[in-house]
Copies of this chain bind each other. A is one copy, B any other.
């Protein structure tokens, strides 16, 4: 019986993963667009306050079961990866 349930849950995980990939790329595109606008205005690209705000938001939205520290770590990676993309 639980074999079918496991397959259903795996299909759910696959669907969620698809959404995560889509959102990560959507996020990257928005950040690249912000960078383009900032460069046009000659505004500093790096804004540590903004990064703090992103982390605070992510943790505020965390209802678990993942730990706040895990969310922080994952978002640090995401921000870092998108930033490396920008600098090319």
Contact = CB atoms under 8 A, between A and B. Distances in A.
Interface of A: 2-3, 5-6, 9-10, 12-14, 16-34, 37-38, 40-41, 50, 54, 57-58, 61-67, 70-71, 73-75, 77-78, 81-82, 85
B81 A70 contact: yes
Contacts of A65: 25, 28-29, 32, 85
Copies of this chain, how many?
A: 2
A34 B10 contact: yes
Contacts of A66: 24-25, 28, 81-82, 85
Nearest to A50: B10
| Dominant secondary structure of chain A at its interface with chain B | helix
A21 B62 contact: yes
B81 A17 contact: no
Contacts of A54: 13-14, 17
